[in-house]
Amino acid sequence: MNTRQVIDESVGPLSLSANFNGDNTRFAVGLDTGFCVFNTDPCELKVSRDFSAGIGLVIMLEQSNYLAIVGGGRQPKFPQNKLVIWDDAKQKAVITLDFRTSVLGVRLSKSRIVVALLNSIHISAFSITPKKLSVFETTDNPLGLVCLGQKLVAFPGRSPGQVQVVELETGNVSIIPAHSTPLRAMALSPDGQVLATASEAGTLVRVFSTANCTKIAELRRGVDHAVIFSIAISPSNLLLAVTSDKSTLHVFDLPHPRTPMHRSQSAASSTEEATNQKWGILGRIPFMPRVFSDVYSFASAHFEIGEEGPPGSVYVPPLGSSFGGPAKGVIGWPDDSTIQVIGSGRDGRWERFVLRDGDDGRRYCMREGWKRYLGGS
pLDDT at 200: 96
**Residue (of 358, 367, 348) closest to 248 by Cα position:** 367
**Which residues of the chain fall below pLDDT 50?**
1-10, 260-275, 279-293, 309-326
Q: How far apart are CA 121 and CA 190, in angstroms?
A: 21
pLDDT at 162: 98
Q: How far apart are CA 322 and CA 70, in angstroms?
A: 12
Domain ranges of the chain: 15-372
**Residue (of 122, 38, 105) closest to 70 by Cα position:** 105
pLDDT at 346: 83
At the fourth CATH level, which superfamily is domain 15-372? YVTN repeat-like/Quinoprotein amine dehydrogenase (2.130.10.10)
pLDDT at 290: 47
**Residue (of 290, 291, 273, 292) closest to 282 by Cα position:** 292
State pLDDT tens for residues 195-205: 999 999 999 99
Task: Give yes or no for a contact between 114 and 146, defined as CB atoms under 8 angstroms apart.
Answer: yes
Cα torsion 3, 63, 148, 209 to 10°: value is -130
**Residue (of 220, 163, 149) closest to 191 by Cα position:** 149
Beta bridge partners of 97: 83
Give a three-class secondary structure readout of 50-107: ECCCEEEEEEECCCCCEEEEEECCCCECCCCCEEEEEECCCCEEEEEEECCCCCCEEE
pTM of the full predicted structure? 0.86
pLDDT at 267: 38
Count other Cβ atoms within 10 Å, centred on residue 41. 17
Q: How far apart are CA 100 and CA 341, in angstroms?
A: 33
Helix (DSSP H) and strand (DSSP E) numbers for the chain: 1, 29
pLDDT at 289: 44
State pLDDT tens for residues 240-268: 999 999 999 999 999 877 764 444 333 33
**Three-state SS at 172:** coil
